[in-house]
Chain A
């Protein structure tokens, strides 16, 4: 169950990486920082709303989730508008460096004492921790069930959005060929902005759910967070980068591999399994499980 819960979070983050990569062909390094930001905003809201002392109402979690998603969506929009859009036609390497710059900026501004500071904090628990029952000998914790359920629900919404709506069709068109999409009357800038908002709010949701499951929040530049973001990226690569369904599959796969490896082999080397998988995939099937190889155009 842990595997499913963590895997669904990886999948949520991986979706943001893969959507941006599909459209702009660059790794949005700042994505994992948006995820961390989501966790910290959730924490701040929970404290401000007084949930740390009093038992929160049932809709409290939902309120925080929506607020964190909205806030991070706004941050994602701003990042794209200010940092990435001026570089739309620049070489990819420059965009990559800018992304790292944005990532460093988010990490270090978050550490300033006017924001979240450098002290580790503890997320107040919003859901009573109880075991809902056992399924095939596995204990189902309420946190895991609600977390995985929310994540899967969000993924279904995304699936519907991308494959069943006009906006989704526009996104797929831009991802397929930006300039032709522009000729067909699609507002490319708006679609890209929307993609960032979508990806960032999914990352925020993952941040909230992660904080619910593992309440210890560390400073934003802490290695745990960086590794989480990296693993989510690995999930996106394994599933086939640029492929939305691949990212979901990759997320669950990574979650399963990591936790089974930790349970049956050695728990200290869990990070190493994930990266070994990455290297194997890069060597054997560089396009990922569901990805297709596209020849690079001159």
Chain B
């Protein structure tokens, strides 16, 4: 894993980006729209699961407010692209083509969402991460609910370019659709951008895991007191992992907001979504990047396969979670990556 040369460092990124381009080219012709949408869902869930794994898996803390950060990122990115399109281009129609002005605005919005989500992560994490992990669980859950209440109290979305140009920035920032959700966002999310960000997330997570910083994260998870004794600044690292995870959740939120067939509303990004992500991390293996990816893929496809039994989806997930903790507490893959498993090496 220790790539010293420049090529070794950039190869994974290059391969990932090439794959993203290939997927995007295939999307229009080879892959039917339904599967394109499914692939985008998978990608977004992979980003969410892998980023939450940094906190819940690597560092051994327990956050159940990941959807809250996703909401911060989604709304921030949505506001940037929606109102930005009005101000810059005069309308919110998607500018067709690859790497157009609209595309760049959308990516800028996503990055802005990531920054804002990271900031929110810092504010939420700092008080609770000084204490024992349990508090983080409660505070993140509370954060998600407060955010939902606040978002539900925002004003209606401004509909015309004229209104937008007259409104002050403060009005724009508080006109996010209230409980009906932020509707009318342009659908900029495509397979290319989803998998570009998936690649970045995966590379960061894997490089982190096998770096000294990642080892320090793991040491906190294994034994916080011992980690502190050998000089790991546990609070600072916990906050760092938390902020990083929040940033990626923000990007996932931005992608989700501009995806076709999704609705950016406060309820959609409530604690149920957070629990979905937690379940992906726990089932895939606490601390296993490939495990989280695998679980994200399976758990995104499963509801499609079980369409007829959707009522039983959550009870089954809940039972699986309990049984997993009793029978195989480290998750399916545990800390290992899929290529480190015994049956794979042979």
How distant is the Cα of A232 from the Cα of B275 in the complex, in angstroms? Answer: 21
Count of chain B residues with a beta carbon within 8 Å of a chain A beta carbon: 43
Q: Is the CB of A100 within 8 A of B146?
A: no
A138 within 8 A of B: no
- B258-287 residues with Cβ-Cβ distance < 8 A to A are 270-272, 275, 278, 282
Min distance, Cβ B329 to any Cβ of chain A, angstroms = 5
Q: Is the CB of A90 within 8 A of B318?
A: no
B230 within 8 A of A: no
Q: Is the CB of B326 within 8 A of A271?
A: no
Residue interface mask A149-175, B partner, CB < 8 A = 1: 000000000000000000000000000
Nearest A residue to B123, CB-CB: A279
Residue interface mask A199-221, B partner, CB < 8 A = 1: 00000000000000000000001
Min distance, Cβ A36 to any Cβ of chain B, angstroms = 14
- B288-310 residues with Cβ-Cβ distance < 8 A to A are none
A81 within 8 A of B: no
Nearest B residue to A279, CB-CB: B127
Q: Is the CB of B329 within 8 A of A90?
A: yes
Residue interface mask B91-107, A partner, CB < 8 A = 1: 00000000000000000
Nearest A residue to B138, CB-CB: A233
Contact residues of A: prevailing secondary structure:
helix
Q: Is the CB of B153 within 8 A of A268?
A: yes
How distant is the Cα of A82 from the Cα of B340 in the complex, in angstroms? Answer: 34
How distant is the Cα of A109 from the Cα of B315 in the complex, in angstroms? Answer: 6
B257 within 8 A of A: no
Min distance, Cβ A243 to any Cβ of chain B, angstroms = 16
Q: Is the CB of B141 within 8 A of A104?
A: no
A227 within 8 A of B: yes
- A135-150 residues with Cβ-Cβ distance < 8 A to B are none
Q: Is the CB of A112 within 8 A of B311?
A: yes
Q: Which among B142, B148, B315 has the highest number of chain A CB atoms within 10 Å?
A: B142
Given known contacts A93-B62, A100-B64, A296-B225, is B326 in contact with A86 (CB within 8 Å)?
yes
Of the candidates A97, A223, A237, the one whose C-beta lies within 8 Å of that of B325 is A97
Of the candidates B139, B145, B314, the one whose C-beta lies within 8 Å of that of A278 is B139
Of the candidates B138, B139, B149, B318, the one whose C-beta lies within 8 Å of that of A102 is B318
Q: Is the CB of B146 within 8 A of A105?
A: no
Q: Is the CB of A105 within 8 A of B318?
A: yes
How distant is the Cα of A105 from the Cα of B319 in the complex, in angstroms? Answer: 7
Residues of B within 8 A of A104 (CB): 275, 314, 317-318, 321
B133 within 8 A of A: yes
Q: Is the CB of B134 within 8 A of A92?
A: yes
A226 within 8 A of B: yes
A283 within 8 A of B: yes
How distant is the Cα of A4 from the Cα of B274 in the complex, in angstroms? Answer: 33
Given known contacts A104-B275, A108-B318, A272-B146, is B225 in contact with A96 (CB within 8 Å)?
no
Min distance, Cβ A81 to any Cβ of chain B, angstroms = 12
A98 within 8 A of B: yes
Q: Is the CB of A100 within 8 A of B329?
A: no
- B176-206 residues with Cβ-Cβ distance < 8 A to A are none
Min distance, Cβ A80 to any Cβ of chain B, angstroms = 13
Residues of A within 8 A of B128 (CB): 282
Residues of A within 8 A of B321 (CB): 97-98, 100-101, 104
Q: Is the CB of A108 within 8 A of B145?
A: no
Residues of B within 8 A of A87 (CB): 325-326, 329
A27 within 8 A of B: yes
How distant is the Cα of A286 from the Cα of B138 in the complex, in angstroms? Answer: 14
B135 within 8 A of A: yes
Min distance, Cβ B208 to any Cβ of chain A, angstroms = 20
A290 within 8 A of B: no
How distant is the Cα of A234 from the Cα of B145 in the complex, in angstroms? Answer: 14
Min distance, Cβ A160 to any Cβ of chain B, angstroms = 30
Q: Is the CB of B317 within 8 A of A97?
A: no
Min distance, Cβ B330 to any Cβ of chain A, angstroms = 9
Min distance, Cβ A202 to any Cβ of chain B, angstroms = 20
Residue interface mask B61-84, A partner, CB < 8 A = 1: 010100000000000000000000
B30 within 8 A of A: no
B2 within 8 A of A: no
- B29-68 residues with Cβ-Cβ distance < 8 A to A are 60, 62, 64
B137 within 8 A of A: yes
Q: Is the CB of A221 within 8 A of B225?
A: no
How distant is the Cα of A93 from the Cα of B331 in the complex, in angstroms? Answer: 13
B131 within 8 A of A: yes
Residue interface mask A90-118, B partner, CB < 8 A = 1: 11111111101111110111001100000
Min distance, Cβ B287 to any Cβ of chain A, angstroms = 12
Q: Is the CB of B315 within 8 A of A105?
A: yes
Residues of A within 8 A of B341 (CB): none
Residues of A within 8 A of B329 (CB): 87, 90-91, 94
Q: Is the CB of A101 within 8 A of B325?
A: yes
Residues of B within 8 A of A278 (CB): 138-139, 142
Q: Is the CB of A83 within 8 A of B322?
A: yes
Q: Is the CB of A97 within 8 A of B282?
A: yes
Nearest B residue to A297, CB-CB: B225
Of the candidates A230, A234, A282, the one whose C-beta lies within 8 Å of that of B127 is A282
A: which residues have CB within 8 A of B? 26-27, 29, 83, 86-87, 90-98, 100-105, 107-109, 112-113, 221, 223, 226-227, 230, 233-234, 237, 268-269, 271-272, 275, 278-279, 282-283, 286, 296, 298
Some 6 contacts from A to B, beta carbons below 8 A apart, are A26-B134, A87-B326, A97-B321, A108-B314, A112-B311, A282-B130
